[in-house]
Amino acid sequence: MTDHYGKLKSVAWIGLVFAVAGIQGQELFQRAERQQIVEYWSADGRYTIGRSGDLECAWQPRQTPDGSVWIREVYKIIQPGKVDPKKDLTGTTPEQRAWTSWIERRYAADELWANAECLRLNQGGSDPASGAPAVKPSSRKGEGVTEVSPIPPPDPLPCPPGLLALVGAPPRLVAPAQPMRHMVVFDEGLTLTYEDHVKVRRKYAYYRFAEGVMSAGTPVSALEPNQLNRLATLAGINLRDLKIMSAVSLLEGGFDSVNTYDTGFVSVGLIQFASLVDGRGSLGRLLRSYKQSQPRAFEDDFRRFGLEVTDDGFLVAIDLESGQELTGYEAALAIIRDKRLIAVFQRAGRREPFQTAQLRSAYEQFFPANEILNVSLGGVRQQVRAGDVFRSEAGLATLMDRKVNIGNIRDVAGVVESLAAKYGIRDRARLADIEHLAVRQLRYRQDFTASRNLTQPRDTANALTSRSGSRAQPVKKRPKK
């Protein structure tokens, strides 16, 4: 199967052409600035890399990025569009169910093989930190996943012919790896530590970078209410909307959370603002807004450490070894490779100016109330504000959860239109009557109707039934504790 980096590069190619055409010759750092940044990061003790764990467990089994790419290709056949990253697909047809059953068996077989290989290597005394492994030198695959058997044993589980024809033979799904620990120290004494080869859930379909790292940071729920309210006030967000945003962000992380191992490429902060493959995305929009609104804070948090953003929202990063200025896709890869750069984001996430910027940008980019839904009511095409249909906190949280994770709420208009037709709703003012039914269909990663901290949609089942003759399914009341 083609190297997953090759695939990512081919997908990114068109975007890169436009990126280079738009910014070529517009360097944001002067040569003296680049030299100063490289010198700062080259200081003794600034960045150290060492073995993670004891020598006896230096080698550990890890899912491979190539295997994750292959699993995602299978899932695309079973279910087009974004798949909930916390769930495994089982298929909707007998053939698809046979495929996913086979994948589970193959994954388990690779786990057994990888565990045995790790045991053999650890007993042999291989020390990745020493640079002198006791075993035969291994080859590096997938920019970080180490395949230690030059000739793997014959596959005891041949791939089903139908699946083989569609996506090709699977690579090794689990393999031995050598996780390394990275320590970054800033002048003020802040020390941040990361471990690469992140241990992801079994059959995770979005794992892409073995050298990537993650840190959950401090969850929003751990902050003092007064502190969060103060940040919201500074960002111009009312307390009701902050409550909804907080419910969704708990699924993502804290202001200082970072992630560089999955398809988001570089993901940062409250709701995981992501650069995506082109090195721009919601993260680029966040940084651009921060730079424009608080230039001095941006300088202190990012520019002086080698990170910038173009007027078009492309990430810019200094290669801390060569001093070269990189933009867009290449900048994102540099941040993934060099843990010093992702540490800059985490440091900024612990400071009030960038926290305020995150809240403001999250509201502007993802809060769904002002999204316009184009729906047909009684054959008449109308534009309806999402907040006029979804009026409860749980309803708006459901939409925001979809927009944060999927990137849009395009499916919402179809659901609203279908329900309106079913219950004979022609007046846009009555669309709020179907909110509780629409929320049930649109639930994505979490059921916000189960939250006692959020206001809930009105159950209008009886009213809908009496007006249309169609029976609306009542919402089951949860027993009070």
Domain-embedded: residue 456: yes
Any alpha helices (H) in 42-128, and if so which ranges?
65-78, 94-123
User: Are residues 379 and 305 both part of a single domain?
Assistant: no
CA 284 – CA 356 distance, rounded (Å): 16
pLDDT for 108-124, tens place per residue? 999 999 999 999 999 88
Q: What is the pLDDT of residue 470?
A: 57
Band the pLDDT of 135: cuts 50, 70, 90. very low
Q: Is residue 461 part of a domain?
A: yes
8 and 333 Cβ atoms separated by less than 8 Å? no
Q: What is the pLDDT of residue 155?
A: 61
Return contacts of 377-383, CB within 8 angstroms, 24+ apart. Answer: 377/417, 377/420, 377/425, 377/426, 377/427, 377/428, 378/426, 380/426, 382/428
Task: Give residue 4's pLDDT band: very low, low, confident or very high (50, 70, 90).
Answer: very low
pLDDT class of 222 with cuts at 50, 70, 90? confident
How high is the pLDDT of residue 229? 93
pLDDT at site 223? 84
pLDDT at 105 over 60: yes
Nearest to 403 by CA among 438, 359, 374, 364: 364
Mean pLDDT of 402-408: 88
Residue 203 contacts residue 103 (beta carbons within 8 Å): yes
pLDDT at res. 398: 96
270 and 313 belong to one structural domain: yes
Q: From CA 300, how far away is CA 143, in angstroms rounded? A: 32
Q: Is the pLDDT of residue 461 over 90?
A: no
Position 480 in a domain: no
Q: What is the mean pLDDT of residues 192-197?
A: 97
Are 238 and 171 in a shared domain?
no
Count up the domains in the chain and report the number.
3
Query: Looking at the domain assignment, is residue 379 inside a domain?
Result: yes
Answer yes or no: do 234 and 173 share one domain: no
Model confidence, pTM = 0.82
Say if residue 140's pLDDT is above 90.
no
Cβ–Cβ < 8 Å for 52, 213 = no
Tokens 């970080």: give the residue.
144
- Please indicate, yes or no, whether residues 248 and 148 belong to a single structural domain of this protein: no
Confidence of residue 154 (pLDDT cuts 50, 70, 90): low
Q: Are residues 281 and 389 in the same domain?
A: no
The 10s digit of each residue's pLDDT in 5-15 is 344 444 443 34
**Contact status, residue 414 vs residue 90, Cβ threshold 8 Å:** no
Phi and psi, residue 21, nearest 5°: -65, -35
**Residue among 26, 61, 18, 456 at smallest CA distance from 278:** 18
Residue 22 pLDDT exceeds 80:
no
Same domain, 285 and 333: yes
| Cα 327 to the center of its chain, rounded Å | 20
Does residue 237 or residue 476 have the better pLDDT?
237
Query: Considering the chain, what percentage of its residues have pLDDT values greater than 70?
Result: 84
| Average pLDDT over all residues of the chain | 86
Strand, helix or coil for residue 412: helix
Selected residue with higher pLDDT from 169 and 143: 169
Q: Which is nearest to 181 in space by CA: 82, 347, 53?
A: 53
CB-CB contact of 273 with 258 (8 Å):
no
pLDDT band at 251 (very low <50, low <70, confident <90, very high): low
Residues 396 and 314 in one domain: no
pLDDT exceeds 60 at position 19: no
- Asked whether residue 92 falls in the same domain as residue 160, the answer is yes
Do 330 and 190 lie in one domain? The reply is yes
Which of 328, 355, 382 is the last residue in one of the domains? Answer: 355
**Per the domain annotation, does 17 fall within a domain?**
no
Ramachandran class of 407: left when φ > 0, alpha when ψ lies in -120 to 50, beta otherwise: left
CA–CA gap between residue 294 and residue 354 (Å, rounded) = 9
For 117, residues 6+ apart whose C-beta sits below 8 A from its C-beta are 59, 61, 148, 149, 175, 176
Query: In whole angstroms, what separates CA 433 from the centre of its chain?
Result: 34
Judge whether residue 171 has pLDDT over 60: yes
For residue 10, is it within any domain?
A: no
- Sign for the pseudo-dihedral over CA of 363, 206, 218, 249: positive
Interval 304-362: pLDDT, tens: 999 999 999 999 999 999 999 999 999 999 999 999 999 999 999 999 999 999 999 99
> What's the mean pLDDT in 446-450?
93
| Residue 478 pLDDT level (bands cut at 50, 70, 90) | low
pLDDT bracket for residue 26 (50, 70, 90): confident
Same domain, 141 and 190: no
**Domain interval for residue 463:** 368-468
Q: Is the pLDDT of residue 136 over 50?
A: no
- Give pLDDT tens digits for 27-53: 899 999 999 999 999 999 999 999 887
The confidence score (pLDDT) of residue 74 equals: 96
